[in-house]
Amino acid sequence: MKVPFLDLGAAYRELKPEIDAAVARVLASGWYILGEEVEGFEHEFAAYTGAQQCVGLANGLDALHLALRAMDVGPGDEVIVPSHTFIATWLAVSQCGAVPVPVEPDARTYNIDTARIEAAITPRTKVILPVHLYGQPADLDPILAIARKHGLRVLEDAAQAHGARYKGQRLGAHGDAVAWSFYPGKNLGAMGDGGAITTNDSQIADRIRVLRNYGSRVKYINEVQGYNSRLDPIQAAILRVKLAYLDEWNARRSVIAGNYMQALGVAITRQSPPSLILPHTPDWAEPVWHLYVVQHSHPKDLREELAYAGVGAMVHYPIPPHLQKAYAALGYVQGQFPVAEQIANQCISLPIGPQLTERAVTEVISAFEVAINRSGCAAQTIW
């Protein structure tokens, strides 16, 4: 049995009648930019996240960028970012003319290590930008405390964490603003690009609404030099359909993650010495398992074995931002952020998604067990 890493078509097939009807509704409306469909989604997603405001945008990168702009981040400023993240987190800072200042992750959770943040703050620091990576919340309380102490803003990157809870409360309104991506592969994914910010700060929301529409509230009257970054009504309509199923789909992901944890945990404890690390979830976190990521001492061998068995596996993310050519000008060298580099060199993401069948999950587990044995691997769990 072939098990792809992710089958986006399966999500559409499950909701085909509702999605087709939503798209047809937009097409028949004759309104194709902003309008009632986008406003409807903004209202519903704000309510879902517990935020007072939601502003729909063209994609997740724009959500980060425009939120930073709304926080007056510009040339000469610094923004604290994780050293281990998708590069969009850094790019948004650079697009403002500011400098991303990397902080290493916690090796167990993969999220920014809050104990290292304060040492990275300088007089030029403007914002702390934690990422809720792989669908697991970062530890927000100490981040918010540090920000208050130093007079800084907090912008959360929740591109992978739709529906995740921190200490019982859904992400969406802890920091000054939260940026979301609705890229098709996300837990709440459109059928194209899409993004949004949620916030309880009406001034930030108002600024972003102006910035997303050419710097204009009224047509042909431009208050600032803005952008064209508006959530498409067709994508908004699709997201409204999927939002109603988000909790159910996240629950399915949690079941799959639990099956992986139990089965792989039993299998790998028979191995010695250790070479595999399973995900760790703090007691206060309720992840939504956007990705199920393990670390392995021989990731290339393991991926090849899984591929041979017909199981798709991916690496998120093989090159840390500080080692990307795009950031060569910052002068970072290999070894400067060893935790991020180790994660990049050893991580493997297993198939996970709400449409993954029990049979497919069993196939992944069986293939994984065989792959470990064939490659002579040992394992370790960190729970």
Reported confidence tier of residue 378, pLDDT bands at 50, 70, 90 = very low
Average pLDDT rounded to a whole number, residues 228-232: 98
pLDDT at 272: 57
Q: List, for residues 158-169, the tens digit of each pLDDT value.
A: 999 999 999 999
> Mean pLDDT of all residues in the chain?
95
Q: What integer is the mean pLDDT of 6-20?
A: 97
pLDDT score at 371: 87
Who's near 352: CB < 8 A, 6+ residues apart? 253, 256, 257, 260, 289, 291, 292
CA–CA distance, 285 with 143 (Å, rounded to integer): 15
Cα 330 vs. chain centroid, distance in angstroms?
A: 25
Distances (CA, A) of 218 to 68, 111, 211, 215, 222: 23, 41, 12, 9, 8
pLDDT at 310: 96
Q: How much is the average pLDDT of 307-326?
A: 96
Helix ranges restricted to H, the chain: 8-14, 16-29, 36-49, 60-70, 88-95, 140-150, 202-212, 233-243, 246-268, 299-308, 338-346, 358-374
Query: At 265, is the pLDDT very low, low, confident or very high (cuts 50, 70, 90)?
Result: confident
> Structure tokens of 4?
């792809």
Residue 119 has pLDDT above 90, yes or no: yes
* pLDDT digit string, tens, across residues 32-81: 999 999 999 999 999 999 999 999 999 999 999 999 999 999 999 999 99
Backbone angles phi, psi at 295, to 5 degrees: -110, 140
With a cut of 60, say whether residue 301 has pLDDT above it: yes
The two tokens of residue 222 are 């431009």
Percent of the chain with pLDDT over 70: 96
Read off the tokens for 176: 């000054």
Mean local confidence (pLDDT), 203-228: 97
